[in-house]
Amino acid sequence: MQPSDMSAVDLVTAVRQGDLTALRATEAFLEQIERLDGQINAFLSVDRDGALRTAAAVDAKRKAGKTLGPLAGLPVAVKDALCTSDLPTTCASKMLAGFRPPYDAEVVARLRAADAVIVGKTNMDEFAMGGSNENSAFGPVHNPWDLTRAPGGSSGGSAACVAADMAPVAIGSDTGGSIRQPAGLCGITGLKPTYGRVSRRGLVAFASSLDQIGPMARSAADCALLLETIAGHDPGDATSLDLPVPAYGSDLERPLEGVRIGRVPAHFGAGLDPEVAHAVEEAFAAFRAAGATIIDIDMPHADAGVATYYLVAPCEASSNLARYDGAHYGHRAEPGKGHRAEPGKLQPAEPVSGQGNASGGFESALVEMYCRSRAEGFGPEVKRRIMLGTYALSAGYYDAYYAKALKVRRLIRQDYLDAFEKVDLIGGPVSATAAFKLGEKSGDPLAMYLVDLYTVCTNLAGVGGISFPCGFTKGGLPIGFQLQAPALAEPLLLRATDRYQHLTDWHRRRPAIAARPR
Amino acid sequence: MTATPTAAAPFTTVIGLEVHVQLQTRTKLFCGCSTTFGAAPNTHVCPTCLGLPGSLPVMNRTAFELAVRAALALGCKIAPFTKWDRKNYFYPDLPKGYQISQFDLPFSSAGALEVVDPKGALSRNVRITRVHLEEDAGKSMHDEAAGTGDTRIDLNRAGTPLCEIVTEPDLRSPQEARAWLNELKLLLVYLGVSDCNMQEGSLRVDANVNLHIPSDGGRIAKTPIVEIKNMNSFRSVERALVYEAARQYEEWQATKAEMGKTPKQTRGWDDPAGVTRAQRHKEESSDYRYFPEPDLVPVTVSEEWLAATREAMGDPPSVLREKLAARWKIPAYDADVLVNQGRELVAYFEDLAERVGEGKVASNWMQQDVLRTLNERGGSIDAFPVRPAALAELIGRVAKGDFDTSRAREIFAEVLASGRTVDEVVASMGIAAVDDDELITLCRELLAANPRVVADVKGGKEQAAAGLIGQAKKKNPNVNPGKVRAMCLDLIRQM
């Protein structure tokens, strides 16, 4: 069996038992990257030398009889929103092109400590803002199932590289669906953990109260393996939960008898593609067959989810992205270059003139440097969200927008608390359609925002969610199913998904492009 | 005082202060970097205080405790729940593009600090609006002289914990403002909250000032409020306020402009020139877009924790003054002078008073000798070469009649100058107790040589005997003047 066909669980077992060297496993995935990534563009950087070095070190460690980490020899792709001290961290933005952080994100440090092999950094929507990966400053990712289609986003590179066997597992981040939606569109399994379960330290912030890092893999079992390493308290993240980490892989096989899964009839309204609706209903049937009870529930404030999300997230983003001002690091505009207005495009601010005091000259040059650095460094969607957030936080608008959004957020959170009185999990579609064409929605920001319809409420409520394939369209595109659970119920999310994956083989299907030439 | 309008000052000056004090923590408010002053630029920095992508803040509990200590001593209410907010603005010395501060739920509010002049000239209770915690920004150094427009940024200070103390406009004169700041500084230093070193920027003051001017028909005209910045000593604060009050009065006479008609003005104090100058209006128009800091969790404060903090706090100066006056039976004025010198001097005094057994005598020596010498020599009381034990011995020997106070002062000066012990100095100066026989002989000689004095005393003018003491000291510097006087009077009575 090719290493690239093996599950992550089998890979680490094989390496630990000496049936497979870490070097050979790593080489296999690097070969696949070399063969395919020119077409898919899932990676922003590939660390061939570093990965081979790490793999060789793992093999040496094993030879020397030392204890191996739980992910020993496992190649991992990491979203480019996580800081890595040995690789650039760009967030797919021109603003951070070539930026190399002086430190590793907590999750990256945990991966290294677990003897994982980081193969590279994956493409994404710029600063994780988007649902198609078209907002990358370094070109879109192509969906391995159909290269003319989007892989979803923002963790599109992480989803695509796992789908195309370029890595067995990947790290993504999810602010409003950025793990689950691309996992759904690429036919893989992606988990957004409970807010605070995984440290955010070193994750370049988009919206701090919503961001959460999670595993992306081919199966629930592989997600469990990765989550066990990356979850846990970090004293360096004040929002990280100081609670023990369960052995996520140990309880997967318990049957689903007695588990109640909520179904929200409103999910099946207008806008849901009939093929997707059908596959999702089939998945409910499969869960019923596996012993679960399906109960229709109401989420009365879910309608307000997207509107709430598109206030909370841009408000936080407008502040989080203020640091990219050209003063200390990242892109800085060349001094003295004039601007010409481009019709129909977002324009840089007019240079602000001095106000007639001693420091006026400095002030105006400074403001001009800020304006131009940000105008040049950020892409249109990032600018749009910074402006939305800045506007909504401004004096006179705060109460009408941000404060109201926080109130609705509390109502949505309450919806979940009420629902989880009646059910253990909530099931439904991840997105309304299968993968859409590249360019299909990129001219219509509002249509793009609605892509997040089924996923944003999970983040607003701070609970966990998982997405996995539950069928294919007639055109051969994967369809995703989402389960959401109460806070810290990751063991149940993983168990339910694993049980489903024992009854079905949707998650085993690979796109044609991934098949190795004989 | 100009608390009420007089002919000389036909207005009331109304002053409120905003004080920023740097808390005495080893590390910054949200990261582990050192707060030591004076390091090479940008050496006390890490991803968090540099605002690097992905970095997160974690609250320094010690900073919170120190701030609570200050607020408790200022009589503030401590909120059971407090949160952090982001204050958004762009500036190169603010690397995140926002300052972590507290907006609508500061950790404390509604306190007061009284300033009392023991001479009775001043007495003002100044209400504290709020005390909150925030992080400091870095420092920008503009290279204006070179004209190149280069600006250098030092982020060592970025993230240093600051306590912001805001008063109500309760102060009524520049002198009061200065006295109140002295009291505040004393309090914060006593509590170990801050070193309040203005040169190093550990304490910064902005003042809001306007005038209330009685005008036609008993109406009070209020001049526009001006905020004064850039004052780097308490003396500057007083001078700036004096200048600004005069300037506002002059302007009012010319324009009759009143509060509310123009936006609040910010003026910078130019210390060498002794004037305030208008600054740009940028501050007034900014919208900081405050919102709750999502990277930090709210802080809850329990009653038990507060009680423990209060317990560990020690006496604030106002309480200590009363305790000292009562315990050592010294006047309020003495207690004030001692307490105002700081905790270490109070400890020295109490040690001395304990050994001497007489508070007032010990206090006199402190006020007249120790403090004067300390002021001349500089340095701290802990490094003062005459320790309480030696000084107590000196004072004890005066009480015993070995020598008089002025002789004791000479010994004190010599001990300080030479570093020798009291005994050594006494021996080297040839000071020996004069025995009674010797004294009688001396007094007889004096009386024989001064028949006029004898006659005057006999005539009822006892004070005439004072003239004999000087002569006695000339003949033998070691004589005790009190004894000489008593013995001469005795001998005259027997004549």
- Catalytic, A85? Answer no
How do B81-82 and B299-300 pair as beta strands? antiparallel
B87 touches chain A (CB under 8 A): no
Nearest to B78 by CA among B293, B315, B318, B313: B313
Phi, psi (deg, nearest 5) at residue A44: -95, -25
Please give the Cα distance from B45 to A151 (Å, whole number).
40
The residue behind tokens 């998945």 is: A283
B190, two tokens:
């006593």
What kind and span of H or E run contains A2?
none
* Cis bond upstream, residue A154 (ω within 30): yes
Confidence of residue A452 (pLDDT cuts 50, 70, 90): confident
Nearest to B67 by CA among B229, B234, B293, B301: B301
Say which range, A463-472, B155-164, B275-284, B293-302, has the weakest mean pLDDT. Answer: B275-284
DSSP states of A161-199 as a string?
HHHTTS-SEEEEEESSSTTHHHHHHHT-EEEEPPTTSB-
CB contacts under 8 A, B 432-491 vs A, are none
Is A355's CB within 8 Å of B281's CB? yes
The percentage of chain B sitting over the pLDDT mark of 70, rounded to a whole number, equals: 94
Give the pLDDT confidence of A223-264 residue by residue, as tens digits: 999 999 999 999 999 999 999 999 999 999 999 999 999 999
Q: How distant is the Cα of B56 from the closest Cα of chain A, in angstroms?
A: 6
DSSP states of A226-285 as a string?
HHHHHBS--TT-TTS---PPP-GGGGTTS--TT-EEEE-GGGGSTTS-HHHHHHHHHHHH
Query: For helices B332-340 and B317-328, what crossing angle results, to 10°?
Result: 130
Greater model confidence, B473 or A52: A52
- Average pLDDT over all residues of chain B: 85
Burial of residue B103 (number of CB atoms within 10 Å: 0-12, 13-18, 19+): middle
A198 touches chain B (CB under 8 A): no
A89 touches chain B (CB under 8 A): yes
- Catalytic, A422? Answer no
Q: What ranges make up the beta strands (E) of B159-224?
A: 161-167, 203-214, 220-222
Contact A4, A24 (CB under 8 A): no
CB contacts under 8 A, A 305-344 vs B, are 315-316, 318-319, 321-323, 325, 327-329
Say which range, A110-124, A444-458, B292-306, B400-414, has the weakest mean pLDDT. Answer: B400-414
A382 touches chain B (CB under 8 A): no
Q: How distant is the Cα of B148 from the closest Cα of chain A, in angstroms?
A: 10
Domain boundaries, chain B: 12-304, 315-428, 436-494
Looking at the DSSP assignment, which residues form a beta bridge with residue A122?
A43, A79
Query: For helices A8-17 and A220-230, what crossing angle results, to 10°?
Result: 70
- Is the predicted pLDDT of residue A188 greater than 80, yes or no? yes
Candidate from B149, B153, B281 with C-beta closest to A362 = B149
CB contacts under 8 A, B 89-148 vs A, are 90, 92, 95-98, 142, 144
Contacts of B296 in chain A (CB under 8 A): 238-239
Q: How distant is the Cα of A199 from the closest Cα of chain B, in angstroms?
A: 10
Number of H helices, E strands in chain B: 18, 17
Give the SS3 label for residue A300: coil
Interval A175-180 mean pLDDT? 97
Domain boundaries, chain A: 3-257, 325-336+348-377
CB contacts under 8 A, B 349-408 vs A, are none
Residue A83: the pLDDT is 98
Confidence of residue B218 (pLDDT cuts 50, 70, 90): confident
Contacts of B297 in chain A (CB under 8 A): 238-239
Amino acid letter, A485: A
Residue B384: the pLDDT is 82
Phi, psi (deg, nearest 5) at residue B337: -60, -45
Please give the Cα distance from B143 to B150 (Å, whole number).
5
The percentage of chain A sitting over the pLDDT mark of 90, rounded to a whole number, equals: 86
- List, in order, residues 6 or more apart from B167 with CB less than 8 Å away: B16, B17, B18, B19, B126, B127, B128, B129
Is B289's CB within 8 Å of A99's CB? no
Spot the catalytic one: A45, A154, A173, A431: A154
Is B142's CB within 8 Å of A359's CB? yes
Query: For helices A220-230 and A106-113, what crossing angle results, to 10°?
Result: 100
Q: How distant is the Cα of B51 from the closest Cα of chain A, in angstroms?
A: 7
| Closest residue of chain B to A361, computed from CA coordinates | B149
Is B96's CB within 8 Å of A323's CB? yes
Q: How distant is the Cα of A22 from the closest Cα of chain B, in angstroms?
A: 30
Please give the Cα distance from A359 to B230 (Å, whole number).
15
Number of H helices, E strands in chain A: 15, 11
Confidence of residue B74 (pLDDT cuts 50, 70, 90): very high
Contacts of A198 in chain B (CB under 8 A): none
- ipTM (interface predicted TM): 0.91
Nearest to A308 by CA among A430, A418, A157, A412: A412
Is A101's CB within 8 Å of B54's CB? yes
Phi, psi (deg, nearest 5) at residue A448: -65, -40
- Average pLDDT over all residues of chain A: 93
Interval A396-422 mean pLDDT? 95
- Is the predicted pLDDT of residue A16 greater than 90, yes or no? yes
Contacts of A390 in chain B (CB under 8 A): 289
Is B95's CB within 8 Å of A370's CB? no
Please give the Cα distance from B490 to B495 (Å, whole number).
9
Looking at the DSSP assignment, which residues form a beta bridge with residue A143?
A146
Contacts of A203 in chain B (CB under 8 A): 54
Nearest to A177 by CA among A153, A195, A201, A157: A153
CB contacts under 8 A, B 149-208 vs A, are 149, 151, 153
Residue B120: the pLDDT is 66
B296 touches chain A (CB under 8 A): yes
Candidate from B55, B97, B296 with C-beta closest to A322 = B97
Candidate from A105, A323, A390 with C-beta closest to B289 = A390
Say which range, A115-119, A233-237, A275-279, B284-288, has the weakest mean pLDDT. Answer: B284-288
Burial of residue B441 (number of CB atoms within 10 Å: 0-12, 13-18, 19+): exposed
Please give the Cα distance from A34 to A156 (Å, whole number).
18
Residue B2: the pLDDT is 40
Radius of gyration of chain B (CA): 30
Residue A357: the pLDDT is 39
Contact B459, B425 (CB under 8 A): no
Interval B126-154 mean pLDDT? 82
Please give the Cα distance from B161 to B25 (Å, whole number).
8
Please give the Cα distance from B416 to B386 (Å, whole number).
7
A475 touches chain B (CB under 8 A): no
A126 touches chain B (CB under 8 A): no
Please give the Cα distance from B180 to B238 (Å, whole number).
11
Is A105's CB within 8 Å of B142's CB? no
Q: Is the dihedral of CA A17, A18, A23, A26 positive or negative?
A: negative
Give the pLDDT confidence of B8-51 residue by residue, as tens digits: 668 899 999 999 999 999 999 999 999 988 889 999 999 999 99
Candidate from A89, A327, A394 with C-beta closest to B53 = A89
Contact A168, A8 (CB under 8 A): yes
CA distances from B373 to B333, B393, B404 (A): 19, 18, 20
Q: How distant is the Cα of B145 from the closest Cα of chain A, in angstroms?
A: 11
Please give the Cα distance from B402 to A94 (Å, whole number).
88
Is B53's CB within 8 Å of A323's CB? yes
CATH number of B436-494: 1.10.10
For chain B, first and last CA: distance in Å?
Answer: 60
- Is the predicted pLDDT of residue B265 greater than 70, yes or no? yes
Contacts of A368 in chain B (CB under 8 A): none
**Alpha helices by DSSP H, B291-385:** 303-311, 317-328, 332-340, 343-356, 359-365, 371-377
Nearest to A116 by CA among A226, A219, A223: A226
Give the burial string for B28-66 (b: 16+ CB within 10 Å, else e). bbbbebebebeeeeeebbbbbbbbbbbbbbbbbeebbbb
Q: State the number of CA atoms in the 13 A half-sphere of B326 facing the CB.
A: 6
Q: How distant is the Cα of A404 from the closest Cα of chain B, in angstroms?
A: 13
Nearest to A261 by CA among A485, A454, A501, A462: A485
Give the pLDDT confidence of A141-168 residue by residue, as tens digits: 999 999 999 999 899 999 999 999 999 9
Contact A439, A482 (CB under 8 A): no
Is B52's CB within 8 Å of A102's CB? yes
For the segment(s) A3-257, the CATH number from 3.90.1300.10, 1.20.1110.10, 3.30.70.100, 3.60.20.10 is 3.90.1300.10
| Closest residue of chain A to B154, computed from CA coordinates | A328
- Catalytic, A79? Answer yes
Spot the catalytic one: A45, A79, A192, A431: A79
Looking at the DSSP assignment, which residues form a beta bridge with residue B492?
none
Q: Which long-range CB contacts under 8 A does B448-453 form with residues at least 24 apart? A: none
B6 touches chain A (CB under 8 A): no
Confidence of residue B5 (pLDDT cuts 50, 70, 90): low
Spot the catalytic one: A4, A178, A199, A467: A178
Beta carbon pairs, A and B, within 8 Å: 117
Say which range, B211-225, B246-260, B428-442, has the weakest mean pLDDT. Answer: B428-442
Say which range, A325-339, A403-417, B49-63, B311-325, has the weakest mean pLDDT. Answer: A325-339
Contacts of A101 in chain B (CB under 8 A): 47, 52-54
Contact A123, A171 (CB under 8 A): no
| Closest residue of chain B to A398, computed from CA coordinates | B289
Nearest to A77 by CA among A11, A125, A122, A41: A122
- Proportion of chain B in helix, strand, coil states, percent, rounded to 5: 45, 20, 35
CB contacts under 8 A, A 206-265 vs B, are 207-209, 235-239
Nearest to B204 by CA among B173, B247, B253, B163: B163
Please give the Cα distance from B205 to B479 (Å, whole number).
56
Contacts of B147 in chain A (CB under 8 A): none
Contacts of A99 in chain B (CB under 8 A): 53
Contacts of A102 in chain B (CB under 8 A): 47, 52
Residue B474: the pLDDT is 77
